[in-house]
Each structure stands twice: as structure tokens, then as C-alpha cells.
A and B are shown apart, each in its own frame.
Chain A
Amino acid sequence: MEIFNHDSNIPFLGMRKFSIAIALFLMVASIGLIATKGLNYALDFTGGVSMVIDYDQSVEIADVRATLEKGGFDHAIVQSLGGTREVAIRMQPKEDQKAVDANGKVNLDLISADVLKTLHVARADAKLKSRELVTAEVGAELKSDGTVAAVFVILGIMAYLWIRFERRFAIAAVATEIHDVLVTLGILALAQREFDMTVLASVLAVIGYSINDKVVVFDRIRELFRLARKAEPEEILNRSINNTLSRTIITSLFTAITMGALFFFGGTAVHGFAVTMLIGIVVGTLSSIFVASPILLWLGVSKKDLMPVTRENPELARRP
């Protein structure tokens, strides 16, 4: 079975002005969204108190919110956890003055007992399923750790590609990676999806996933340059994208299938992870096809740049 015409020769590079313009626009828009709307940081980053409440019968989010406001918890954030019987409540500990002692120590048990008491006024079937307290300090650390990890990944990948391929490939890959991360974060900011620890893990995994795609295309570019007698860069790049198109899309589909399974059956704990990964797969696949190669062409890749490596290093030349 084949979905794609293997002789396809879609002029992807021909539309490079168009595609790069869109990519640039998306990046700028994403930066704008992250700057203005901001990411909807979860407890893991902001610090605070969170509780998961389970009801025996279905419940309206608005009712829970109203009950909490009546009880004096004005700034509590109530979210549904999928289904109608489970809600998550998030708040800063200062909502419950009694539970914070003179040293700023927070008594989680007291807060959750107060919240449950408030909820029981309206509904007796509310049950506390889990509760969590994160101090702001730990949250801030996670943010900086996450940034450091992302920078480490990007630099590590750049170094590897620089050695295995060539400078231009490394730069093109990293530029596209930054595009992918920014656009993924931008979509998360636009949708105001909760950004928690698993989503951070997912964003870092997106980097790993989308670099895979780029490397496959780059590998083909290198191979075709070395094989071709008369190497017109634009034509080689275009042929490489077309040759690997089937693989790019099939792999994306397969990975998307598993993430879909995770989204629909994995429960709320991994929702954010699966959604972020799905966004990342779409963005990464599109950028592998439309963004990475135009940047490479623009940087001026040529047959000459790829050949010396083989002369200097005969071992590399033997490799397929």
C-alpha cells in the first residue's frame, strides 16, 4: 500500500519565500502571544495549593466556583478534569489566612479541610482525592532548570550536526528547532492550556522528535549532493524533501496515533503531555518540509561544502 506518489516532485523550495514568511509570522505571533497572554503556568511553576475533588454525582464547574466564593476563597481556580465528576481546585495559600503561620509556613491539611468543609455546605458528596503544596521557590527553580535543559539540548544537537554534517546544517536545524519550540509554546499560550511539569517534558521531547525529521531530510541532502554529478542546490534540496516525504508523513502519523491513544485513554494526568506532543508533531513535520531546507539554501549549501569531509576522513566516505 502506498499513500504517496513516489515520483512526486512538488516544488517546495519554489514556495520558499512564502513558507519562510509564514514561519516568521508564526514565530513573531508566538513571541507576541507568550509575551502578552503568557503561558498558563500550573502549580508546579507558580507554587501554591492544589486539590482534586471527586463528586459522586455530576457537578457544574460554575457551582463549585460559586460555593468557593461564598466560603471566602475568591481567587480559587476551578477546572474540570475531564468528565463531570472530577474537578481540580488551585489557589494561593494566602486565600486561607488561618493556614499560614507567622513564618510563612503553610498547613496543607488545614487548607484542604477548610475547602472541603466549604464544598460540603453545597454538596455532601464531595470527596478529596489528592492534594498538593508547592512552594514558589521550587517552582521558580523548575522554570530555570527547564530553560537550561532546552538550551543544553539545542546546543548539543547543534554540536553533533556541526561535526557529522557541516556548519550550515547545524545552523539551519537549530533555527528550525527554535521556530518549532516557539510556535508550540505560542499555541499553548493561545489556547491557555495549563503548562505543568509534564508539558515541559513534552516540549523538550518535541525538540527531540522534530530534530529526527530534519536529520532524515539532511541525510538525504548530503547523500544526493555526493552522488550528483551536476548539483544544483535548489533541485537537490527539493528532491530530498520529496524523496523523504512519504517517510516524514508516515512516521508523523504513527507517532500521532500513539499520542492520540495516550490522549483518549491515558487519563487526565497525561492530557497535557499528549496534546503538546501532537502540536509539536504537526509543527515539526511542517517545518521539516517547508522551513529547514529553505534556510539551508539561503545559507548557501553546496556540493563543495560536503565533499572535503570525505577527503579528509576516508572512514566517513566508506559509510553509506
Chain B
Amino acid sequence: MSDFPRWKYALVALMMLFGVIYALPNAFVPVPAVQVTANRDAPPIDQSLQQKVQAALASKKIAVSNVVVEGDHMLATFTNSDVQKSGADVIKAALGDGYTVAFKLQSNVPGWLQAIGARSMPLGLDLQGGVHFLMQVDQNDAIDKQENSYADDIRSLLRQKNIRYESVTRNAVRDQGIAVILRSAADRSTAADAIGNEYTDLNVGNGANTGDRFVLNVVIKPEKLRDLSRSAITQNLGTLRNRINALGVSEPLIQQQGESRIVVELAGVQDPAEAKKLIGAVATLQYRPGIGQAGDPQAQEAARTGNIPPDANLYRMRGSNLPVLVSKQIIVTGNQLVDASSGIDQQSGTPKVDVTLNAAGARKMGDFTNANVGKPMAVVYVEQVYETKIVDGKPVRVAKVTETVINDASIASPFSKQFQTTGLGSAKEASDLALLLKGGALAAPMDIVEESVIGASLGKDNIDKGFNAVLLGLALVLLAAAIYYKLFGLVADIALFFNLVILVAVMSLIGVTLTMPGVAGIVLTLGMAIDANVLICERIREELRNGSTPHASIRAGYEKAWSTILDANVTHLIAALALTTMGTGAIKGFGVTLMIGILTSLFTSVTLTHAFTALIHGHRKLKTLSV
């Protein structure tokens, strides 16, 4: 009789079902597509645009499989990537700069699979081609900025509190903080209290005195420095995301690696120059005096005739597109902006944006607003964008600087360091404005430390070869096991096959990016997963030789082999774990694959084969075993 419990049969059946369902999405090859999204000021995507695209494609005789509008974007699918490229060019030319046209691999997975969270494994760059950047964020710059800003603040504070000081200077060595030199011990202790109370992120300590110079050392607290570098990375990630979206790459990979690095992988992009320009681009803000209101007669007149006052620029309001005149004088730039956050104004209940400037910016802002209460002040957003032009019949992307006014409001009362912009239309408008104010610039500069461009054909080659290697490796092991262990070999084969299926399913579910080292990991897992079955089969043979009955041999085989299998797999797991601790993407991918593979193979080669063995032999009287 079978000693294999019923719940284990159920578990095995469930796992097999799970494996098949969640591995299934990988069988659906995604189709090349072009995705169109509307930019900020362009009219939204609708049926007429769809017809326009269809007509443009038809006139150039480009075969398009399907053009559909899905929510806020439009999707045109093509039969192959060559047609996709020419299709994208035609669509770009037809729609102009108001729309972002991006290449995309549209998933072909049926809706019911997507509904239960089944999806295909994302492919690494080495399997589909594209550009890869590894960027080092220069944390020192962020620290410099912050120390300079604190030095400014301390000077203003001491002046404000009427504490006489000789100098406030940053130490030449970074991280060593700011040296404040005062004239007396009494001054020093008042200064220390004032600074300590005002700025809780600073540590204040007495330094060595020389004659009548009393030194106070001010250092930024380590936890604040850590926050600083963390937020520098976060802000850089956000800014990069905004900029890369403008590049028109769908599903870019932008993520932190280690403490101070950012990985950017853009699938399908073959020209890194364009991507690099964009990554390095600087969007800046300028606070400038406004002239009149947006859309007032003077501005309308200037827009109509082109007669712009010599001390002014004519810009358009973002959103409403109304003309607005802005003075050429710059009060404060985005570099002097420390923080911007959105919220709700307590008094009026309308959305607002709080802005904090550094000391230098605050002084200038204070001077200006004192003299100009009631007058308008505009925020000009300067940004480098790319537009497509047709040169000699070929679409060419050129960089262009655009300047738009994102906000134009009257100065209600004088302000300097902190102020708020109220009267915004909605909470979303407020948070958008805060993001624009803050997200324009990188918090810290970045250097490219690793760069690679993988040709699309190389990616295709790799995926074909990888697939062949997996199939061939599997086939050979299946054959060898069946020959060597006969019926038990066939059972092991079923287990090995399901090991592959469940491994792929788990990797897909977790969303492990498949790379060539990952494929090597899968092949290696296939080779080593059979080890457990070899152990079991050898044990069963041994028991049979020692004169045990077939059923007893099976039971003893599984029982005795288990402790060996467990020890062998735990030690192997330790090795795989170490691989995943390596920061580098490729090795990590291999380690993760190996780790999942060890765990799935433990299940398939022990529990799954036991279930099948019990099913085949459990209810029969046996004289011999086919092993």
C-alpha cells in the first residue's frame, strides 16, 4: 500500500498547475508596437487622431496590424521590427511634436492570464539589445551645496541676533564642517546656543582658541548627511525618469544599484548619444518680474505684432497657452531653491506650494518683494527638449531649448526664505508644480562609469542560442536518465521537466529579468537537479541488492537519501546566496536563478517524483522494480 499522504498528491498537482499557468505567458511572443502619448499641451488622443495615423500609414503603404486607442495612449502594432521602425517614423512625422512616439513590445498574453498576475519574464538587454549606463552619483557635490548653504544661514543668523563674528568659513576638507570664529568666549556660547536651537541638524562644538579668536566648529550630523545622500539619489532617480520619458522609450529600467550608483537600461535604443544628452540635460527655473497679466491686451498685442518691449521676453503660459510678457531680469534661479512641496492652505483651503530658498536666494527675493508688493512675479521653466524635423526626407531629432511660464502670480506681501504660491486650481496642479520646481535639476552631478550598447541582432542571436542550449541540455539529460534508470528515470524526467516549468513560473511571477547568465543558471540547474534523483535511484538499487522488497526499497530509498539531499542542497544554497549579494546585475541574476532553481528542484525531484512513484507502484504487488 502507498504510504504517500493524500495532501501531498494535492500539493504536487497544485504546484504542477501553478507552474504551467504562470510559465505560460512566456510562450506568447510579444509583438512590436508603437505607442503614442500626448505631451502636456497637445490635445488628448481620440478617434480622429487614430484615423489620422491610419491614413498616414496607408499613404506610405506601411502594413499595420492594428491601431487602437487605450485610455490616454494609442497603440499601433506591426508584424516585425523593420516595419515597426518605418511605421514609427511615419507616425512621428504625421503627428508632430505634440506627441511622444515610443517603441514598445506589446505583450500578447491573453487577458485572463494577465488578470491572475501571470506575465512573461522581462528580458535583459543582452537578450534584446539596447543601451546600458551605470552612473556614479557625486555625493560630494550635494554635501558641498549643503555646507555652503548652512554657512550662509549661519552668517544671516548671527547678524540677525547681533552676535559679532570674525568669519564663517567652510573647512577646506569636505565633511569637516564650518568654522565660525568669534571675538569672545561669551559670544561663542551665545552663538553656539543660537545655532543649536535654530538648526537641529547641526552638531556644534568648541574648537581650539588662538589669542582673541574663539573658534566654534559646526558639523552636519551624520544622520542628516545620510539623509542627504539618500535624497540626492532619490531626486536624481526621479529627474532621470522624467527626462527619459521624454526620450520616448517605453518601460525603461532606472534603478539604484549599491549606495551611490544608478543603472539605466533602455531597451531598443541603439544611439546612446541622444540618451546621454538627455540624461545630462539641465532644466532650470527662473523667478522673474512679470509685466502685466497673462493674456492681457499688452501681451496679446506683442504676440500679434511681434513688437516685444526690449527689456522683456514673450512666453506662453503652460496649459492655457496664453501669451505673457516677462522681464529679462532674473531674481532667483532654481539652483537657489532648496525645497518645494505641495499642500493645502489653512486659510483659504485652496491647494498651495511651499517653496524654500537658500540664504543667498532669500536675500535677493526679500529685496525684490519688498519693493514690488502687488506686482506680478513669473516662474519661467527652461528646458531642453527634442523635436523631430524632416531634413532631406529623413526624420532628424534636434535639441531645442524651450521656455514656458509655469506660474504667474501677484506678490501679496514681502517674503524671502520661505513663501507659498496659493490659488492653484487643484491639488494635482499643486503637486505637479512642486515636482516641476524641484525635479528640474539633478540633486548631484553624475558620471557615467560603465556604458554598453548591445546591437539588436546580437540580442536576437543570444536569445535563440540560449533557448537552444536549454532545450538541448534538457533533452540530453532526459534521454540519459531514461536509459540509465528506466522507469524511475522517466519519473525523474517528468520531475525535471516540471522543474523547468516551475522555475520559469516563479521567475516570471517575481519578475526576475532574464539575462544570458540567467540562462546559464537555468541550464546548470537542470544538470544539478537530476542529482537528487540519482541519489534516490542509487539508494533504491542498493536496498534491492541488500534483499529488501520493492516497496520497502522505495520507502528506504527516499528516506535515506533525504538527509543527503538536504545537506547537499543547503550547502549549494549558501553558495547561490553569496552570488546574489554581489552588486553587479549579471551575477546577481545568475545567483537568483540558481537559488530559485535549487528550491524548485528540491520539491520536484523529491516530492513530485515520490508522488508519481507512489501512483505507479503504490497499489500493486511488485516483484521487481524498473530502476
Contacts and interface: CB of A to CB of B under 8 A. Distances in A.
Contact of A200 (B134, B480, B587): B587
B586 A261 contact: no
Interface string B577-603: 111011110110011001000000000
Contacts of B419: none
B524 A205 contact: yes
A64 B91 CA distance: 42
A3 B483 CA distance: 12
B468 interface: yes
A137 B261 CA distance: 13
Contacts of B485: 1
A212 B579 contact: no
B465 interface: yes
* Among A2, A216, A260, A319: residue with most chain B CB under 10 A: A216
Nearest to A202: B520
A259 B527 contact: yes
A156 interface: yes
A105 B560 CA distance: 61
Contacts of A251: 528, 530-531, 534
B517 A198 contact: yes
A277 interface: yes
Interface string A1-36: 111001000000000000000000000000000000
B123 to A, nearest CB: 14
A256 B455 CA distance: 31
A145 B584 contact: yes
B458 interface: yes
Contact of B571 (A160, A204, A244, A320): A160
Interface string B553-591: 000000110111001111110111111011110110011
Interface string B341-380: 0000000000000000000000000000000000000000
A149 interface: yes
Given A132-B452, A265-B468, A255 B563 contact: no
B541 interface: yes
Contact of B586 (A6, A153, A197, A246): A197
* Among B484, B559, B567, B584: residue with most chain A CB under 10 A: B567
Contacts of B450: 132-135, 138
A119 interface: no
Interface stretch (B161-169, B177-185, B309-317, B470-478): B470-478
Contact of A6 (B468, B519, B541): B541
A129 B462 contact: no
Contact of A254 (B451, B454, B480, B586): B480
Contacts of B466: 266-267, 270
Contact of A197 (B134, B136, B567, B584): B584
Contacts of B451: 108, 132-133
Given A254-B477, A265-B472, A138 B520 contact: no
A97 to B, nearest CB: 19
B542 A6 contact: yes
Contacts of B591: 201
A269 B462 contact: yes
B564 A216 contact: yes
Nearest to B570: A160
Nearest to A104: B447
Interface in A235-266: 243-244, 246-247, 250-251, 253-262, 265-266
* Among B473, B484, B559: residue with most chain A CB under 10 A: B473
Contacts of A58: none
B469 A320 contact: no
Interface string A23-58: 000000000000000000000000000001010000
Given A1-B485, A129-B458, A164-B567, 5 more contacts: A161-B571, A198-B516, A257-B480, A262-B520, A266-B466
Interface of B: 126, 134, 136, 272-273, 447-455, 457-458, 461-462, 465-466, 468-469, 472-474, 476-477, 480-481, 483-486, 516-517, 519-520, 523-524, 526-528, 530-531, 534-535, 538, 541-542, 545, 559-560, 562-564, 567-572, 574-579, 581-584, 586-587, 590-591, 594
Question: What 8 A-B pairs are tightest by C-beta distance, nearest first?
Answer: A208-B575, A258-B527, A267-B465, A132-B452, A255-B527, A266-B469, A258-B473, A261-B473
